[in-house]
Structure 1
Amino acid sequence: MNLQAIKAIYMFEMYRLRRNLSQSVLAPILSTSLYFVVFGSAIGSRMADIDGVSYGAFIVPGLIMLSVLTQSISNASFSIYFPRFTGTIYELLSAPVSYIEILMGYVGAAASKSLVLALIIMATATFFVPLRIEHPVWMVVFLVLTALTFSLFGFIIGVWADSFENLQIVPLLIVTPLTFLGGSFYAINMLPPFWQAVSLLNPVVYLISGFRWSFYGAADVSLPVSLGVTLGILAACLGIVAWIFKTGYRLRN
């Protein structure tokens, strides 16, 4: 295992976070703060508690998941697409660096950025709502698994995309709507029975449900099911990435 190569790729990508601090950190924090002001204060003050939790506190896990999902995909997809766009990817592929080491460097950096952002958003939330974490170990488990899974998903998108416009298609048209419809701002049991059944077809529901359980001990889906779905998505992404490296899909040509 070439640890020096992994470190070089990882540190190069992490340096991008410092170069684009306003875009990478400040913009998501500002948008999340607006969610707390609008939904938590303006609307939440008029709503009853959900499972014994104030509405402002209830939406915190969903907002964190929304940021982690979108930022993991964005960071990972751009990180691998830009070298393809400029042609520098061939220098990396010709270097004595294995595909696994390349993947660990890019995905590790994208996941790290998302985790840093999640912790900052969590700290920001304490200024707006009373926040408690009943199961901190499970909170970390779901946070890390989600960041890694969707960083892998973003890596796949970055390899598949053939233009900067295509980088935004999947996050904007698929992932973001699924996140908003996945219980970020409401509990699934608040919906009519038919729409509850439809919502359970949304994989993001299981991510948010498990993550919210780690905060308040209440969830729409049982913990084993949420964890199983999360690991299933992770396994599917790993399988696709393995196929990409095995065939050289859009990397060697």
Structure 2
Amino acid sequence: MNLYAVRAIYWFELSRWFRTLTQSILAPVISTSLYFVVFGSAIGSRMHAIGGVSYGAFIVPGLMMLSVLTESISNASFGIHMPKWAGTIYELLSAPVSWVEAVLGYVGAAATKSVLLGVLILATARLFVPFQIAHPFWMLGFLVLTALTFSLFGFIIGVWAEGWEKLQIVPILVVTPLTFLGGSFYSISMLPPLWRQITLFNPVVYLISGFRWSFYGLSDVGVVLSLSMTLGFMAVCLLLIWRIFQTGYHLRT
């Protein structure tokens, strides 16, 4: 394992993030704060508690997942697409660096940024609504696992995209709608039976459900199923990335 190469990629990506703190940190935090003001205070004060949890507190895990998913994909896709666009990807491919070491550097940095942002949003949420974390260990575990999984997914998008505009297609047209429809602002048990069954095909439901369980002990689906679905998606992403480096898909051409 070439740890020097992993550290070099990792710290290079983190240093780029620190140079754009306003865009990377301030913008997501302000956006999330507005959600808390509108949904947590204005609308939440007029809604009944869900499972004994106030509406403002109920949406905290969903809003965290919304930010973590979006930032994980954005950070990882931008990180690998930039060297492709600049042509420096060939230096990486010709260096004595395996695909595992490259992925550890890029994905590790993207996941670290997302986890830090998630913790910051959690602290920000505390300013607006009181809440408890029933299972802090599992909360941190789900947060890290989600950040890693969707950073891997973002890495794939960054390799697949042939231009900067394509980097936004999947996050905007696929991931964000799935997150909003995945129970971020409601429990899927509130839906009619038919729509509840359809919603179960949304993979984001399992992420949000498991994450919300770590806060309040409430979940729309089983925690083991949530964890299994997340690990399964991570395994698929790792398999695709391995295949990308084996074939050189959109890397050598």
Whether the TM-score (by the shorter chain) exceeds 0.5 is yes
Q: Following the alignment from structure 1 to structure 2, what is the Cα–Cα distance between the partners of residues 156 and 185?
A: 28
What is the aligned partner in structure 1 of residue 133 from structure 2?
A: 133
Q: Deviations over 1:92-121 (max 9, x none)?
A: 111111111111000000000000000000
Structure 1 stretches of 4+ moved >6 Å:
none
Verify: 1:213 aligned to 2:213, yes or no.
yes
What is the aligned partner in structure 2 of residue 143 from structure 1?
A: 143
AA at the equivalent of 2:106: Y
What is the aligned partner in structure 2 of residue 5 from structure 1?
A: 5
Q: Following the alignment from structure 1 to structure 2, what is the Cα–Cα distance between the partners of residues 172 and 210?
A: 23
User: What fraction of aligned residue pairs are identical, expressed as a percent?
Assistant: 70
Question: 1:16 Cα shift?
Answer: 1.2
Give the stretch that moved more between structures: 137-146 or 39-48.
Answer: 137-146
Is this contact kept in 1: 2:57–2:129, CA < 8 A? yes
Q: SS in structure 2 opposite 1:184?
A: coil
Verify: 1:191 aligned to 2:205, yes or no.
no
What is the aligned partner in structure 2 of residue 154 from structure 1?
A: 154
Is this contact kept in 1: 2:99–2:242, CA < 8 A? no
What is the aligned partner in structure 1 of residue 96 from structure 2?
A: 96
- Give the CA RMSD over aligned residues: 0.5
Question: 1:140 Cα shift?
Answer: 1.2
Q: Following the alignment from structure 2 to structure 1, what is the Cα–Cα distance between the partners of residues 83 and 191?
A: 45
AA at the equivalent of 1:231: L
Q: SS in structure 1 opposite 2:63?
A: helix
Which ranges of structure 1 fall in alignment gaps of 5 or more residues?
none
AA at the equivalent of 1:5: A
Which ranges of structure 2 fall in alignment gaps of 5 or more residues?
none
What is the aligned partner in structure 2 of residue 224 from structure 1?
A: 224
Question: 1:141 Cα shift?
Answer: 1.3
Question: 1:131 Cα shift?
Answer: 1.6
What is the aligned partner in structure 2 of residue 200 from structure 1?
A: 200
**What TM-score does the superposition give when structure 2 sets the normalisation length?**
0.99
Is this contact kept in 1: 2:206–2:229, CA < 8 A? yes
AA at the equivalent of 1:126: R
AA at the equivalent of 2:81: Y
**What TM-score does the superposition give when structure 1 sets the normalisation length?**
0.99
Q: Following the alignment from structure 2 to structure 1, what is the Cα–Cα distance between the partners of residues 238 and 136?
A: 27
Q: SS in structure 1 opposite 2:204?
A: helix
AA at the equivalent of 1:251: L
What is the aligned partner in structure 2 of residue 243 from structure 1?
A: 243
What is the aligned partner in structure 2 of residue 106 from structure 1?
A: 106
Number of residue pairs aligned between Structure 1 and Structure 2: 253
What is the aligned partner in structure 2 of residue 66 from structure 1?
A: 66
What is the aligned partner in structure 2 of residue 176 from structure 1?
A: 176
Q: SS in structure 1 opposite 2:109?
A: helix
Q: Following the alignment from structure 2 to structure 1, what is the Cα–Cα distance between the partners of residues 194 and 20?
A: 44
